[in-house]
Amino acid sequence: MALARAPRLLPAVCALLAAVACGVPVQQQTGSAAEARQAARGEVRPVKKAQDFGNEHTFADGLSIRVSMPKSFQPSNSSYPRSGRAAAFDVELRNGGTEPYRLSGLSVTASASGAPASPLVDALQGFNGISDAGRDIAPGRAIHLNMAFAVPENPVELWMVLRPSAGSAAAATYCGSA
């Protein structure tokens, strides 16, 4: 009798094993090869450590990033996208490496209470995003970018992730209230 049930149970057991094996969360992979695969596939990896706004993060190549505390402001009528409130940041990039850093490689994303936050351009108030994208930062030099993101009217938990290049697994992650 037990032998008669085995053919019916075998496919179910195989399906269960396949589902469990394929369902292993991405964050359980480790090492730079796994991070590179995730970045290449565009996967957002859960953040292990975030730092407070205002702190500096230095990448292995010597590029350092410091993001100021967010400052809430009301965008002008000419801002894009239109928003009742935005969070502004001063982003300092310092090239401590030996090669020029191409600013066009910088990738900046943000989320407000878990929802994507759109970069906001408000030229009247000096928020132009990465306006000199074709510029190189020479070794030993630094630049400042005025950046803003559209956020909801009420205070939110804001996460900002900066990568030295869009496909890079290395990232500086900041978190705080805005």
Task: Check: CB of residue 120 under 8 Å from CB of residue 87.
Answer: no
Q: Is 3 exposed, middle or buried (0-12, 13-18, 19+ CB in 10 A)?
A: exposed
Question: Both 90 and 19 in a single domain?
Answer: no
Question: Both 135 and 153 in a single domain?
Answer: yes
Tens digit of each residue's pLDDT (9 = 90 or more) over 44-93? 444 458 999 999 999 999 999 999 999 999 999 999 999 999 999 999 99
Count of structural domains, the chain: 2
Task: Check: CB of residue 129 under 8 Å from CB of residue 85.
Answer: no
* Other CB atoms within 10 Å distance of the CB of residue 81: 11
Q: Is 105 exposed, middle or buried (0-12, 13-18, 19+ CB in 10 A)?
A: middle
Tens digit of each residue's pLDDT (9 = 90 or more) over 7-28? 544 444 333 333 333 333 333 3
Question: Both 112 and 41 in a single domain?
Answer: no
Tens digit of each residue's pLDDT (9 = 90 or more) over 120-161? 999 999 998 888 888 999 999 999 999 999 999 999 999 999
Rounded to whole angstroms, how far apart are CA atoms 146 and 1?
74
Question: Both 26 and 66 in a single domain?
Answer: no
Structural domain range at position 125: 49-177
- Quick one: pLDDT band at residue 4, thresholds 50, 70, 90? low
Query: What is the predicted pLDDT for the residue at 11?
Result: 41
Question: Both 119 and 140 in a single domain?
Answer: yes
Question: Both 36 and 57 in a single domain?
Answer: no
